A and B are shown apart, each in its own frame.
Chain A
Amino acid sequence: MAAEVTKRKTDIGPPHYEKFLPPVIKENYGKWKYHEIPRPGVMVHVAQSGAKLFSVRAATPRLMSIETLRLFAAIADEFCGGYLRFTSRNNVEFLLDDEKKIEALVTRLGKEGYPVGGTGPGITNIVHTQGWVHCHSAASDASGVVKSLMDELFPHFERPDLPAKVRVAFACCLNMCGAVHCSDIAVLAVHRKPPKINHDRLPKTCEIPSTVAACPTGAIRPATVDGKQSVQVIEEQCMFCGNCFTVCPSMTMADPENDGISIWVGGKVSNARHEPMFSKLAIPYLPNNPPRWPEVVDAVKKLVDVYAKGARPFERMGEWIERIGWPKFFKLTGIEFTKYHIDDFRHAGESFRRSTHLRQSRG
């Protein structure tokens, strides 16, 4: 035992990435010339030396069994010397230098249930959070909504047939693990009721000053309840962010009847053409309706369809909406504009229209 303790290694950091790079990458590192997409889901990167690297991109559900990782390892051994990587949107990519193996690899991945696609102006994997699978603050499941959405949007994964890429992201509460707030379509689960306070447990589980300080609107105040130190919430000041719950587990937010899903549009992170921008509210609330969330799937499908019809080549969702204006967006999508669409938090006035630049329409 003592020997084991002395051997204990710490702070070694991750393995060096060079160990995992295929020879074609090591030889052409930093010397790539251009790339093309010869077919959906397959990229070829051509080096200054003329060497070619083929990347075959396949879908994954992000949540994966080690049995699947072992399958990917076996496929990588069979087709590309064991070299593979994952993308920032949770796809897997097999890295080949032999073009002749692509066809068989694409077929194999499809047969195993991990279809190839996700390149170019279409819809690739939905970055998402843990949801009911593993999170304590989730207002919805994540994997189930994503699965239902991608089953419906799948044609755009297999075939890049949209004016530009449409980045879809899902977060199961306002903590937003991942960058959903700058996506073409952000699906965000929300709570809509103030925290329920467990006054018996609160004094034992929470620090009252930090709980009070956790509220961005000052809605939480110290209070004595049944002779015990606790807190009270000024409910009309609560905007259901859940920050108090993160700080104090005795203030729970989850509510099966009132939790649900909001949809935001027109964000992007790339600097291409338009500067990066936040997603803006399209639909304030749709119900949680497992296992397939049909209301959410229909709404997202409709947004994609209306965008596909109206946008010009290279126009991302947000650029298209800026060109046609928000009133037209709401008209085309049939989404009702409500008071909830008007910002009333910090810097709210920045989004009020302070001009007469209005696209008037007859009747």
Chain B
Amino acid sequence: MTDRKTPMLDELEKGPWPSFVKEIKKSAKSPMVRDLLGQLERSYEEKIGHWKHGGLVGVKGYGGGVIGRYNDLPAEFPEVSEFHTVRVNQPSGWFYTSEALRTLCDIWDQHGSGLTNMHGSTGDIVFLGTKTSELEPIFSKLTAAGYDLGGSGSDMRTPSCCVGPARCEWACYDTLNFTYDVTQTYQDELHRPAFPYKFKIKAAGCPNDCVASVARSDLSVIGTWRDEIQVDQAAVRAYAQGGKLNIHRDVAGRCPTRCIAWDGTTLQIDDENCVKCMHCINAMPKALSPGKDRGAALLVGAKAPIVEGALLASVLVPFIKMEPPYDDIKELLNAMWELWSEHGKNRERIGEFIQRIGLGNFLEQIGLEAVPEMVTQPRTNPYIYYDLN
């Protein structure tokens, strides 16, 4: 352990934004954290990281949930020669009580660095930095307190969701309940990696998609509705009179299908041509709300660039009612996982797999009908694999 000077990091204690360096120093009673600070200062000096490729560590019976991390300067910074990450499955919607937070803090105080991420990118509570010997004690205390590990590696990653009906008037289904339900149903898939690669599920209550599901989840469940936008005409007029919003220009004029008309007293929506984009509702939340016939659209295959390039998710089911126990979605998930597990290549996300085998073939294999909502337009090339058998 070293207590070296950290002039470069100290610079980052200044300024109005909360400082991660101050946070690290708050936990500096831990020898691990003092070495972390020293090693990080060295990275700042040398412009290079000092962590080695992860190793296989974990808790008994699980294949995921712990990310092995070792440094490449064990002689200089021995306290962080092992500095593993523990992913703890967050409660739906990231709600806590002070008591729950303290329970987590006490466990991490006794068995790790005391540094956390609230939360990691996928949504887990991240315990940042501990030794291999502490993993089983952490796990047994977490489970005794009612917590469990999240996913890592080629498994179903920890599902996550937006704040949903707990606080949002736009939630078209219960994102918290759905997330809790699929997480509990697929504990084995979450804890024991058996897929070709990771599989992320994200639940967004409306097309605003506050959890970026369309950009990063293999199954993206986005709330939407089938009937008419609910309009309170008096409240629309109040927005018009309020003077902050130009309804003709900023609401009707920004509708992507130009399906809104405003004559100064009445807002008319051609709901058949509304694509449920949320703009008018976002602009006038006191006057407009999603319809009453609510459910979700299922999209599949989003991912970041590695390996074959980034993909946004694409429509798999244009509309589905979202009611527990979500059997139809689980049937679909099981069918997709079975096909992808058998034919997917190592480190091939399901979106890349679908591109490789063709969406048409994929649909046929999982037993879904092709519908025009799945594409922006039909194909333009005549290279059709006619199937006459």
Binding site for B on A (CB under 8 A): 4, 8-17, 19-21, 25, 29-30, 32-36, 45, 53, 55, 59-70, 72-74, 76-77, 82-88, 90, 92, 113-115, 127, 129, 131-138, 141, 143-144, 147-148, 150-151, 154, 157, 171, 174-182, 210, 213-214, 216, 241-243, 245-247, 249, 254-257, 259, 267, 269-278, 288, 290-292, 313-314, 345-347
* Residue B277 lies at the interface, judged by CB distance under 8 Å to chain A: yes
Residues of B within 8 A of A288 (CB): 47
Question: In whole angstroms, what is the CA distance A87 to B93 when docked?
Answer: 8
Given contacts A182-B215, A274-B256, contact A72 B101 (CB under 8 A): yes
A134 touches B278 (CB 8 A): no
B162 contacts the other chain (CB 8 A): yes
Interface pair A20/B256, CB less than 8 Å apart: no
- Give the distance in Å from the alpha carbon of A73 to the alpha carbon of B12 in the complex: 26
Asked whether A63 lies within 8 Å of B117 as measured between CB atoms, the reply is yes
CA–CA, A82 and B348, complex, Å:
44
Given contacts A90-B119, A138-B51, 6 further A-B contacts (CB under 8 A): A20-B100, A45-B169, A74-B98, A86-B96, A272-B279, A276-B214
Contacts of A33 in B (CB 8 A): 169, 289
**Across the interface, do B52 and A182 meet the contact criterion of CB distance under 8 Å?**
no
Q: Which residues of B contact A242 (CB under 8 A)?
A: 306
Question: Is B187 among interface residues, defined by CB-CB distance under 8 A?
Answer: yes
* Chain A residues whose C-beta falls within 8 Å of the C-beta of B194 in the assembled complex: none
Distance in angstroms between the alpha carbons of A177 and B306 in the assembled complex = 11
Q: Mark B44-79, 1 if CB is under 8 A from A, else 0.
A: 101111111110000011100000010000000000
Is B1 an interface residue when CB atoms closer than 8 A count as contact? Answer: no
Contact B277 A241 (CB under 8 A): no
Within 8 A of A (CB), among B283-335: 283, 285-286, 289, 304-310, 312
B: number of interface residues (CB 8 Å): 124
The answer to whether A176 and B304 have CB atoms under 8 Å apart is yes
Q: How far apart are A129's CB and chain B's nearest CB, in angstroms?
A: 7
Q: Could you say which residues of chain B place their CB within 8 Å of the CB of A113?
A: 18-19, 22
Judge whether A179 and B216 touch: CB under 8 Å.
yes
Q: Please tell me if the beta carbons of A132 and B43 are within 8 angstroms of each other in the complex.
A: yes
Q: Which B residue sits closest to A17, measured CB to CB?
A: B92
B171 within 8 A of A: yes
* 7 residue pairs bridging A and B, Cβ less than 8 Å apart: A15-B147, A55-B167, A133-B20, A133-B36, A150-B17, A267-B215, A271-B278
Query: How far apart sit A160 and B345, CA to CA, in the bound complex (Å)?
Result: 46
> Given A151-B16, A290-B47, A35 and B169 touching (CB < 8 A)?
yes
Q: Which of B90-124 contact A (CB under 8 A)?
A: 90-102, 104-105, 108-109, 114-122
| Nearest-Cβ distance from residue A139 to partner chain B, whole angstroms | 8
- Among B176-184, B264-272, B336-344, B364-372, the one that faces the other chain is B176-184
Most chain B Cβ neighbours within 10 Å, of A36, A69, A214: A69
Max chain A CB contacts within 10 Å: which of B18, B168, B310? Answer: B18
A160 to B60, CA, bound (A): 49
**B162 with A69: CB separation less than 8 A:** no
A119 to chain B, nearest CB (A): 13
Q: Is B34 an interface residue (CB 8 A)?
A: no
Question: In the complex the two chains form, is B61's CB within 8 Å of A10's CB?
Answer: yes
Q: Is the CB of B95 within 8 A of A20?
A: yes
